[in-house]
A and B are shown apart, each in its own frame.
Chain A
Amino acid sequence: MPETETQVRELTLGEAVREAIAEEMRRDPRVVLMGEDVAEAGTAFKVLTGMVEEFGKDRIIDTPISEPGFTGIGVGAAMTGLRPVVDIMFGDFMTLIMDQIVNQAAKVHYMSGGKWKVPMVLRTTMGGGRRSAAQHSQSLHAWPSHVPGLKVVLPSTPYDAKGLMKTAIRDDNPVIIFEDKMMYRLKGPVPVEEYTIPFGVADVKRVGRDITIVATSSMVQVALGAAKLLDEAGISAEVIDPRTTWPLDEKTLIESVKKTSRAIVVDEGYHRYGVTAEIASVMAEGAFYNLDKPIKRMGAMHVPIPFSPPLEDATIPTERSVFEMAKELCS
């Protein structure tokens, strides 16, 4: 093996997540992982297959179906010397753990005058398109993004998923990571060599001139697809992924829209009062005099995610709908 060249291989997003957690567990004996069916089952999405064989059942810990209970245990364990990764199978179950996250984890450090810390990672899923209906398809990352004391991470590529997970595990704050469950098999280049990705640094996924498309998680691939279509129509789109909704890289977002003077924000969370509203507002305030058109927001429709495929497909932005919106803005 050459020592100087950076080795890169293709990994799926799921494999990148697993590799990140495994590396951190080898590096730091304080890291433990707990959740429902995480050990032999390797999670419902098989993301953690093989982990229990390497780290044993003392560190890859199956819990009862008690989300508030084991999330609370994660908070207490984080305060007292461990660095737990808590696995919440579906992001929809955020509803069950809100007290532990919002009233406990997020506030412990501040309420104690900075004396206690909660170095905990909570990884969960988001995203529709899996025909899982209204209670297993939501993207609720706007909720924790609203709460001071939490950091919220949304990886969109295997490279980002690995680097951001490693940063999350090393962070001294509660960090919530939403992984799009439809993207676990998405492949992408990941260096063999160790790396981390800092929070609050957006990634320009594609450079462009005419319009900025800010997209998160599942919507990054959608935005890149739309950008390709736009290219064919003679419109050059810049695609930016903030990667973390908090901390938010306001500077990169504002600079981009200053350059393009048009923007769309696309996110799979509900449109109303969503992440898109915050990002659009940040950009509008920062680049008001550079804007040629009002900033447009695209999110999930304001309906419970339906089961029937033609209905579900209508609720989430697509390459085509983003393309149409961008074309209209650039006309």
Chain B
Amino acid sequence: MTTTPTPERSGAEIGVEKLLRMYRQMTAIRLFEERANDLYLRALMPGLTHLYEGEEAVAVGICEALRPDDYVTSTHRGHGHCLAKGAVPNLMFAELLGKEAGYCRGKGGSMHIADPATGNLGANAIVGGSTGIATGAAFASKRLGNGRVCICFFGEGALGQGVLYEVMNIASLWKLPVIYVCENNMYNEYTHYSETTAGDILARPAAFGIPAESVDGQDVRGVHLTAKAFVERARQGKGPGFLLCNTYRYRGHHVGDIKRDYYRTKEEEQQWMEQRDPIRRLANWMIEQGLTDRAALDRIDAELKTQMDAAVEFAINAPYPTPDEVEQDVYA
């Protein structure tokens, strides 16, 4: 993988309203994650969490191509997917803090946020663990004829899991409306993916006859336009797709992974943040094109900061579930 910026795809056809919405969503995810990290540092958050900063363009570009009733499955690094699919920050923060008001009544936490109302089948703490669920949702959509598509997000670490290939084979055979989105942030936890991943990644879906494309995951317009084509194709009954998004994880594997020099350099991190940041890239491009100006974007940023701070306050002040809830919802 190269860290040289790839030429940006033309995004004029996306439309200014959508572009601004994508800017807003990416910024919201960035601000959310900054606050999640802060909650960890202030010892207000139980456990650990895996932050999505740097990868925002992937979730946002793809979810912008979906209908509200389409499905997503997410990963242990899932806050971005959940927010991009429509989750609201106050209920997200409440879940991160284990509060009753959270999306899962505090029973799931950061790695298990799920929400039927936004088509979120759930984040999953088993690497590759949701690939079956995603393909099953696509199978149900096809059988029920409801036209829904499912996005299966996973990191490049999941390329090592056999179940992914089992379901890709079945999805191709049965022409299921599922799009496998591989977020290659280059590190399987603390190991560079080149040490774990043989051959050409795109040759893997190709072996199943699944159309596959690689995109610059830091270019939200490119991600969005490519995803849109895959989603339309799937919705028309033409079967699955595979989208490889080359991206970068700004922070460690989790919030506690702060000493990273044994697996990657500060220079590498710096280069991605300064030269390829997806939010700054979209902002600069829109300003250059005369679609917006800095002041307008600053207003969005300020509004989101206020909203996120209020969401954090909401979560901090929200009550914990009472212990008598522990046995509720084991069985439906």
| Contact in complex: A76, B137 (CB < 8 Å) | yes
Choose the segment among A41-49, A78-86, A226-234, A261-269 that binds chain B (4+ C-beta atoms closer than 8 Å): A78-86
The total of chain A residues at the interface (CB under 8 A) is 42
In the complex, chain A residues 106-137 whose Cβ is within 8 Å of any chain B Cβ: 108-119
B258 in contact (CB, < 8 A): no
Q: Please give the distance in Å from B294's CB to the nearest CB on chain A.
A: 41
Which chain B residues lie closer than 8 Å to A167 at the CB level?
A: none
A68 in contact (CB, < 8 A): yes
A71 in contact (CB, < 8 A): yes
In the complex, chain A residues 64-106 whose Cβ is within 8 Å of any chain B Cβ: 64, 66, 68-82, 84, 99-100, 103-104
| Contact in complex: A68, B102 (CB < 8 Å) | no
Docked Cα-Cα span, A151 to B133, in Å, equals 20
| Contact in complex: A81, B132 (CB < 8 Å) | no
Q: Which of A68, A110, A111, A114 contacts B163 (CB 8 A)?
A: A68
Docked Cα-Cα span, A172 to B129, in Å, equals 22
Q: Please give the distance in Å from A117's CB to the nearest CB on chain B.
A: 5
B52 in contact (CB, < 8 A): no
| Contact in complex: A73, B108 (CB < 8 Å) | no
Docked Cα-Cα span, A246 to B270, in Å, equals 55
A173 in contact (CB, < 8 A): yes
| Contact in complex: A149, B330 (CB < 8 Å) | yes
Smallest Cβ-Cβ distance to B111: which chain A residue: A111
Docked Cα-Cα span, A80 to B123, in Å, equals 16
A58 in contact (CB, < 8 A): yes
Docked Cα-Cα span, A82 to B130, in Å, equals 18
In the complex, chain B residues 276-303 whose Cβ is within 8 Å of any chain A Cβ: none
Q: Please give the distance in Å from B115's CB to the nearest CB on chain A.
A: 7
Docked Cα-Cα span, A114 to B327, in Å, equals 11
| Contact in complex: A32, B102 (CB < 8 Å) | no
Q: Which of B108, B112, B121 contacts A79 (CB 8 A)?
A: B121
Which chain A residues lie closer than 8 Å to B73 at the CB level?
A: 76
Docked Cα-Cα span, A58 to B144, in Å, equals 11
Smallest Cβ-Cβ distance to A117: which chain B residue: B332
| Contact in complex: A73, B329 (CB < 8 Å) | no
B203 in contact (CB, < 8 A): no
A252 in contact (CB, < 8 A): no
Which chain A residues lie closer than 8 Å to B138 at the CB level?
A: 76
| Contact in complex: A148, B121 (CB < 8 Å) | no
Q: Please give the distance in Å from A315's CB to the nearest CB on chain B.
A: 32
| Contact in complex: A114, B136 (CB < 8 Å) | no
Interface mask (B144-184 → A, CB under 8 Å = 1, otherwise 0): 10100010000000000011001101100100000000000
Which chain A residues lie closer than 8 Å to B329 at the CB level?
A: 109-110, 113-114
Which chain A residues lie closer than 8 Å to B57 at the CB level?
A: none
| Contact in complex: B170, A66 (CB < 8 Å) | yes
Q: Please give the distance in Å from B171's CB to the nearest CB on chain A.
A: 9
Which chain A residues lie closer than 8 Å to B230 at the CB level?
A: none
| Contact in complex: B103, A113 (CB < 8 Å) | yes
| Contact in complex: A115, B144 (CB < 8 Å) | no
B134 in contact (CB, < 8 A): yes
Which chain A residues lie closer than 8 Å to B310 at the CB level?
A: none
| Contact in complex: A76, B332 (CB < 8 Å) | no
Docked Cα-Cα span, A75 to B141, in Å, equals 14
Q: Which of B105, B112, B116, B133 contacts A76 (CB 8 A)?
A: B133
Which chain B residues lie closer than 8 Å to A196 at the CB level?
A: none
Which chain B residues lie closer than 8 Å to A74 at the CB level?
A: 136
B126 in contact (CB, < 8 A): yes
A318 in contact (CB, < 8 A): no
Docked Cα-Cα span, A82 to B162, in Å, equals 25
Q: Which of B103, B108, B170 contacts A69 (CB 8 A)?
A: B170
| Contact in complex: B129, A103 (CB < 8 Å) | yes
Find the residue from A73, A99, A111, A117 having the highest chain B CB count within 10 A: A73
Q: Which of B106, B116, B136, B162 contacts A116 (CB 8 A)?
A: B116
Smallest Cβ-Cβ distance to A108: which chain B residue: B122
| Contact in complex: A76, B144 (CB < 8 Å) | no
Asked, given contacts A66-B166, A66-B169, A72-B167, whether A114 binds B105 with beta carbons under 8 Å apart, the answer is: yes
Asked, given contacts A64-B173, A80-B140, A148-B330, whether A104 binds B108 with beta carbons under 8 Å apart, the answer is: no
Asked, given contacts A109-B332, A110-B329, A112-B112, whether A76 binds B122 with beta carbons under 8 Å apart, the answer is: no
Q: Which of A32, A64, A81, A172 contacts B166 (CB 8 A)?
A: A64
Q: Which of A58, A75, A173 contacts B132 (CB 8 A)?
A: A75
B71 in contact (CB, < 8 A): yes
| Contact in complex: A111, B114 (CB < 8 Å) | yes
| Contact in complex: A72, B135 (CB < 8 Å) | yes
| Contact in complex: A69, B166 (CB < 8 Å) | yes
| Contact in complex: A77, B137 (CB < 8 Å) | yes
B143 in contact (CB, < 8 A): yes
Contacts A100-B163, A113-B107 supplied; 13 other A-B pairs, CB < 8 Å: A66-B169, A68-B162, A71-B132, A72-B133, A72-B136, A74-B136, A77-B140, A79-B133, A79-B137, A80-B140, A104-B124, A112-B104, A113-B104
Interface residues of B (CB under 8 A from A): 71, 73, 102-108, 112, 114-116, 121-122, 124, 126, 129-141, 143-144, 146, 150, 162-163, 166-167, 169-170, 173, 328-332
Between A and B, 20 residue pairs with Cβ closer than 8 Å are: A66-B166, A66-B167, A66-B170, A73-B136, A76-B134, A76-B137, A76-B150, A79-B133, A80-B71, A80-B137, A81-B146, A99-B163, A100-B132, A104-B132, A112-B104, A113-B329, A114-B332, A115-B103, A116-B122, A117-B332
